[in-house]
Amino acid sequence: MKGVGKFGEVMAGEKGPVSYDQVALRLEKIIRSGSQRRAILDFVCRDLRKVPHYTWVGIYLVEGSDLVLAAWSGPSATQHTRIPIGTGICGAAAEAKETIVVPDVRSDPRYLQCFLNTRSEIVVPIMKDGAAIGEIDIDSDREDAFTTTDQAFVESVAEELTSIF
């Protein structure tokens, strides 16, 4: 279904229609609210999960040569709270400083399993002054869940997040 905003797509959610533009607007407000960084990261994870096919959302921050889980929202916790840069899809995206979309995690040898039900994953680096300082990691229980709209949407959230660091 087409809407009117920047992303122009509306999805059927459990509690009625959800549009990327609505979620993006709310996120922009909270990111620019001047609240504490920790609170903002928690909110961003929770609100991103309003997109129906975003099953688990986490934000990792770079600490030395590792990615450390700073905030997450989803049905269960991950044991991968510290991932060396270069390891897993998360580590690969931080190393490449580029978004990685994996349509089927079962056929990507880099994949570090967190949840049995995950079928696809998107990892978007948060960049500052040319360096990856963190990333948004989203798992979906649906195979091939992440479209070019998802990529543009999550990249815009990551860009917005740069301002709180």
In the complex with ligand SME, which residue's Cβ is closer, 42 or 139? 139
Could you tell me how many residues of this chain bind ligand SME (CB under 6 A)? 13
- Which span (8-16, 47-55, 75-83, 152-160) binds ligand SME, by CB under 6 A? 75-83
Nearer to ligand SME, 139 or 150 (CB): 139
Please choose, out of 18-26, 86-94, 126-134, 141-149, the segment that lies near ligand SME by the rule CB under 6 A.
Answer: 86-94
Where do the H-state alpha helices sit in 32-147?
A: 37-48, 88-96
Q: Is 61 in the site for ligand SME (CB under 6 A)?
A: no
Q: Tell me the backbone φ, ψ of residue 71, rounded to 5 degrees.
A: -160, 150
Residue type, 78: T
Which is nearer to ligand SME, 19 or 118 (by Cβ)?
A: 118
In this complex, which beta carbon is closest to ligand SME, that of residue 83 or of residue 126? Answer: 83
Using the rule CB under 6 A, which residue among 31, 85, 89, 132 binds ligand SME? 89
* 11 sits in which H/E element: strand 10-13
Q: Compute CA distances 91 → 10, 68, 103, 112, whole Å.
A: 31, 11, 17, 10
Contact 136, 158 (CB under 8 A): yes
| Contact between residue 97 and residue 127 where contact means Cβ atoms under 8 Å apart | yes
Task: Return the residues of window 106-125 that contact ligand SME according to CB under 6 A.
Answer: 111-112, 114, 121
Q: Taking the complex as a whole, how short is the minimal distance between the CB of residue 93 and ligand SME, in angstroms?
A: 8
Residues 6+ apart with CB under 8 A from 115: 55, 56, 74, 75, 76, 78, 139
Compute the C-alpha angle 139/143/147, nearest 5°.
Answer: 75
Interface contacts to ligand SME, rule CB under 6 A? 58, 78, 80, 83, 88-90, 111-112, 114, 121, 137, 139
